[in-house]
Structure 1
Amino acid sequence: MPLSVFVIDAFTTLRFKGNPAAVVPLQAWLPDPLMQAIASENNLSETAFFVRDADGVFAIRWFSPLKEVGFCGHATLASAFVIATQQLAPFSLRLRAAAVGELGVERLADGSFEMRFPNQAPALVAAVPQALLDALSIAPQTVYANRQAYIAVYADERQVREVVPDLTRMLALAPRDVAVTAPGSGHDFVSRYFWPANGGAEDPVTGSIHAALAPLWAQTLGKAQLTALQASTRGGELGCRVEGPHVYVRGSAVQYLHGTIAL
């Protein structure tokens, strides 16, 4: 049973930048162990699988090489790109995920996509775990957290770029990952993201964490629309808009590969 597979570079207009995600469109769900095996074989940070339900909503699931994850922004963008370019849906589409509910996606006039995520604003952490402090080579000013990650806030972009993570120590923070962030020089804020317990070392661009970072910086900077840079080696740019219970994350994508999985 051959399956189509796409590899899409998300949050970029250039191949070999942004965050690559594999996307596998399905007519019906495969067994979970098989989807996990495909994601492990792909060995990208995420592989997304989607099935179109009878009501026209695309049910979506995401797998890292290690496990199924509850929410992934860049693979959602990659899936929306595949759905749009394969003409499976018009410019407005809906995706549904068990952990986060319904996600709206709009394809904009410039070809980019805007995704509607639940607002995942973090809370200030009063007692910062020692394992987090030990895992970061530069001490943060403050630390926030939501259910996805600890968010270490720094004074400036230079510190975010220079901080060295101890990935082994970060394993003790599971199931949470670790984001580091600061005001940006050319963007409203910058970040990096580490997730050794859930999929890998440093994630190139993490759409999902911007559902937490955007509300944090919107409150700090006093503005609802923000520009963001994830300062990984590959790098990626995002636009963010905070509106009450929702965070809108905007980005572009480009296709790298279209192939066939032989099962």
Structure 2
Amino acid sequence: MTVEMHVVDAFTEQLFGGNPAAVIMTEEWLDDSLMQSIATENNLSETAFLKPVEHNHYQIRWFSPLTEIDFCGHATMASAFVVFLNNPSLSEVKFSAPAVGELIVTKQADGVIDMSFPNRKPEPVGDVPQALLDGLSKEPRQVLRNEQAYFAIYDGEESVRAIEYDSEKLKLLAPFDVVVSSPGKDYDFVSRYFWPANGGDEDPVTGSIHAGLAPYWGEKMSKQELVAFQASQRGGVVHCRLADNRVHVAGKAVLYLKGEIVI
């Protein structure tokens, strides 16, 4: 059996930038263990599997090299990119996933892919886990949490860029990951994302966490539209817009690879 696979760099206009994700479309789900094995073999931060429901509607599942993930933004962008690539006349696609419901993704005239996510604004944490404080090289000014991660807030971009982290200690926060963030110099805010419990050490660009970051910083800055930068080694620009209790997360993507897996 052969399965077609695309690899797409999301949240970038340049090849080898942003965050790469693999996209595989099948008429029926492959066995869970096989999907996990493929994701592990790919060793990308995410492999997305799509199953058609009807015209321009797909069920979607996301797998890191370690486990299945409830919600992944950059692999959703990569999936939409592939759907639009295969169907040039389409300008909208809908994905469904149990943890986040329906995700509407639109293709704009300039090639920007706009994803409508649920608002996942974090709430302050009363008792900050010691593993979080021990796992980051600098104590944050504030700590919050949503369904996905702990949010460690700092005062300046220099602090976020300089953070060193201990993966073994941050693993103790499972099932939650950790995002560190601050106001930016050239962008409204910057962030870095660590997820040793669920996928890897540092994620290049994490679309899903901006469903929490954008509402947080939008409220602090009294803004409905924000431009963010994820300050990883590859880096990526994320355009965010708040509307009707949804968070629109947008950016561009480029195709890296199209091939077949032989199973």
TM-score of the aligned structures, taking structure 1 as reference length: 0.98
The percent of aligned pairs where both chains have the same amino acid is: 54
Asked if structure 2 preserves the Cα contact closer than 8 Å seen for 1:114 and 1:249, the reply is yes
Deviation at 1:244?
Answer: 3.3
Asked if structure 1 preserves the Cα contact closer than 8 Å seen for 2:15 and 2:254, the reply is yes
Which residue matches 1:232?
232
Matches within 5 A, 1:18-57: 18-54=18-54, 56-57=56-57
TM-score of the aligned structures, taking structure 2 as reference length: 0.98
Matches within 5 A, 1:122-201: 122-201=122-201
Deviation at 1:131?
Answer: 1.0
2:56 and 2:186 mapped to 1: Cα distance? 40
1:51 and 1:112 mapped to 2: Cα distance? 24
2:193 and 2:56 mapped to 1: Cα distance? 34
CA deviations over 1:25-46 (Å, ceiling 9, x no partner): 1111111111111111111010
Unaligned runs of 5+ in 2: none
Deviation at 1:88?
Answer: 7.3
Show structure 1 runs of 4+ deviating over 6 A.
none
Which residue matches 1:13?
13
Which residue matches 1:80?
80
Asked if structure 1 preserves the Cα contact closer than 8 Å seen for 2:2 and 2:260, the reply is yes
Deviation at 1:54?
Answer: 3.4
Of stretches 87-96 and 43-52 in structure 1, the one that deviates more from structure 2 is 87-96
Amino acid at match of 1:222: S
Amino acid at match of 1:211: A
1:74 and 1:90 mapped to 2: Cα distance? 20
Unaligned runs of 5+ in 1: none
Amino acid at match of 1:191: S
Which residue matches 1:202?
202
Deviation at 1:89?
Answer: 6.6
Deviation at 1:147?
Answer: 1.3
Q: CA RMSD in A?
A: 1.0
Asked if structure 1 preserves the Cα contact closer than 8 Å seen for 2:56 and 2:92, the reply is no
2:201 and 2:134 mapped to 1: Cα distance? 17
Confirm or deny that 1:250 pairs with 2:257. no
SS at match of 1:168: helix
Amino acid at match of 2:246: H
CA deviations over 1:215-263 (Å, ceiling 9, x no partner): 0000010101000000000000010011132100001000000010001
| Alignment: residue pair count | 263
SS at match of 2:219: helix
1:100 and 1:70 mapped to 2: Cα distance? 8
SS at match of 1:4: strand
Asked if structure 2 preserves the Cα contact closer than 8 Å seen for 1:83 and 1:89, the reply is no
CA deviations over 1:85-137 (Å, ceiling 9, x no partner): 11177101111111110000010111010000000000011211111111110
